[in-house]
Amino acid sequence: MLVALVICARHKIEPMTRFWTDTVNRLTPYVPGEQRAGGDITKLNTNENPYPPSPDVMEAIRRVNGDQLRRYPDPESVELRSALASYHGVGLDNVFVGNGSDEILALAFLAYFTDGRALQYPDITYSFYPVYCDLYGIEPKTIALEADYSLSLERFLPNEGSIIFPNPNAPTAVATSFEDVKSLLDRHTEQVMLVDEAYADFGATSVIPLVHEYPNLLVSQTFSKGRSLAGLRLGVAFGDAALIDGLQRVKNSFNSYPVDALAQAAGIASIADDAYYRTTTQTIIDTREWTVSELTNRGFEVLPSAANFVFAKAPAGAAGHLFTRLSEAGVLVRYWDKPALSQWLRISIGTPGDMQRLIACIDA
Ligand SMILES: Cc1ncc(COP(=O)(O)O)c(C=O)c1O
């Protein structure tokens, strides 16, 4: 081992990398927020829901029996997709489910964006998009946000490469209107437009009703945020039947069973217990508004949020310092030491008690 390390050091290559392909050698993988275990931690760094899934979901998971686990799950997740189709007023063939919406994005990038043209997305956005571009060799074309960090869809070049953006955007939390998305779809007709609605439960208007009108529109959503199931890994996409069929082809060339039996049972129960999620979502929105006003009173600039997190510019350039001190005090938030972001903190909305602790720590 020591000899190998010495040889590696002499030849200036990292241990192990000589067996990797060029693609893997040049990857810069996505770095998720810290999952610190144990201790007295207030975790506001990965936009998880502070409330548990509905009791009906827990019961549905408990009811899954040994036979269901012994066998492979339904590869097409028909019952779950039917529940989602009725809930959103679309057909079964307009619905695709996957192992978290990150997996759906990975499949969609391969299905629609590897056509040799550039992929357009905002210059400040979900940092998984450049990672997938890297992985698949897709050329990114970034679209600048406005001075107030809003996303003007006018800046996208219609039909000059596919388009992806989150609505609301991440990490800014700023939403784009239904009318603006529709208007871009009227102009952008020749390539796919993927609207990533991971946080749509907290204020933005979903464009799922438009999938029948625009055959190039794909909308992705997740059970991780509004439905408190980040640990289960369940995502969903809606689109024209032909678009969904493209995703199915890629899925079935990669992993036929991405949604396990537990996730299918829990997803169905979650859709059925909508009242529970409307209540927890409203509580999070109320807590968000309280947090925004407390941060604003302390000199933070907080962007208008339609998500379960806020993007807040710390007073006097103190974001990096605050991030470190909060982390030492057991309050985890997200910070990127990158040019356009280094003055900002992304803070997930927890329970009222979590947010009171955050504010008390900031004061301290
Ligand atoms: C904008 C955006 N899209 C997609 C995801 C992926 O969510 P999941 O894979 O948990 O469904 C996230 C997760 O934080 C996100 O912020």
The burial of 66, by beta-carbon neighbours within 10 Å (0-12 exposed, 13-18 middle, 19 or more buried), is given as exposed
State the pLDDT at residue 35: 80
How far apart are the CA of 47 and the centre of ligand 1, in A? 9
* CATH of 55-272 given 3.90.76.10, 3.90.1150.10, 3.40.640.10, 3.40.50.880: 3.40.640.10
Q: Which amino acid is at 88?
A: H
Pick the residue whose CA is nearest to atom 2 on ligand 1.
198
Mutational pocket test of ligand 1: of 102, 151, 195, 227, the residue with most ligand atoms within 8 Å of the beta carbon: 102
State the pLDDT at residue 4: 42
Give the alpha-carbon dihedral of 175, 181, 183, 185, to 10 degrees. Answer: 160
Is the fold of 34-52+275-363 the same as that of 55-272? no
pLDDT tier for residue 218 given thresholds of 50, 70 and 90: very high
**pLDDT of 7 strictly over 80:** no
Pick the residue whose CA is nearest to atom 15 on ligand 1.
198
**By mean pLDDT, which of 17-26, 128-137, 175-184, 329-338 is the weakest?**
17-26
| pTM, 2 dp | 0.94
State the pLDDT at residue 112: 98
**Averaged pLDDT, 331-339:** 94
- Alpha helices of the chain — where are they, by DSSP H? 2-10, 22-26, 55-63, 66-70, 78-88, 101-112, 128-136, 178-187, 241-251, 261-272, 274-297, 319-328, 352-363
How far apart are the CA of 125 and the centre of ligand 1, in A? 11
pLDDT tier for residue 339 given thresholds of 50, 70 and 90: confident
> Could you tell me whether strands 217-222 and 193-196 are parallel, antiparallel, or unpaired per DSSP bridges?
parallel
State the pLDDT at residue 289: 98
State the pLDDT at residue 16: 63
pLDDT tier for residue 6 given thresholds of 50, 70 and 90: very low
Ligand 1 contacts (CB < 6 A) are 47, 100-102, 126, 166, 170, 196, 198, 222, 224, 230, 235
**pLDDT of 9 strictly over 50:** no
- Which pLDDT tens digit goes with each residue over 81-97? 999 999 999 999 999 99
pLDDT tier for residue 108 given thresholds of 50, 70 and 90: very high
- Which pLDDT tens digit goes with each residue over 153-204? 999 999 999 999 999 999 999 999 999 999 999 999 999 999 999 999 999 9
How far apart are the CA of 229 and the centre of ligand 1, in A? 12
Mutational pocket test of ligand 1: of 128, 199, 310, the residue with most ligand atoms within 8 Å of the beta carbon: 128
- Which pLDDT tens digit goes with each residue over 62-83? 999 999 999 999 999 999 999 9
How far apart are the CA of 202 and the centre of ligand 1, in A? 14
Q: Is the peptide bond before 130 cis (omega within 30 degrees of 0)?
A: no
pLDDT tier for residue 317 given thresholds of 50, 70 and 90: confident
Q: List the domain boundaries for the chain.
A: 34-52+275-363, 55-272
Q: What is the mean pLDDT of the chain?
A: 94
For domain 34-52+275-363, the CATH class is alpha beta
- Alpha helices of 137-273 — where are they, by DSSP H? 178-187, 241-251, 261-272
**pLDDT of 242 strictly over 80:** yes
**Averaged pLDDT, 246-273:** 97
How far apart are the CA of 104 and the centre of ligand 1, in A? 10
Query: Which of 81-88's residues contact partners 24+ apart within 8 Å by CB, and which partners?
Result: 83/267, 83/268, 83/271, 83/272, 84/236, 84/267, 84/271, 87/271, 87/274, 88/208, 88/238
**Averaged pLDDT, 323-328:** 96
- Which pLDDT tens digit goes with each residue over 10-52? 444 455 688 888 888 888 888 887 787 778 999 999 999 999 9
**Averaged pLDDT, 264-271:** 98
How far apart are the CA of 223 and the centre of ligand 1, in A? 10
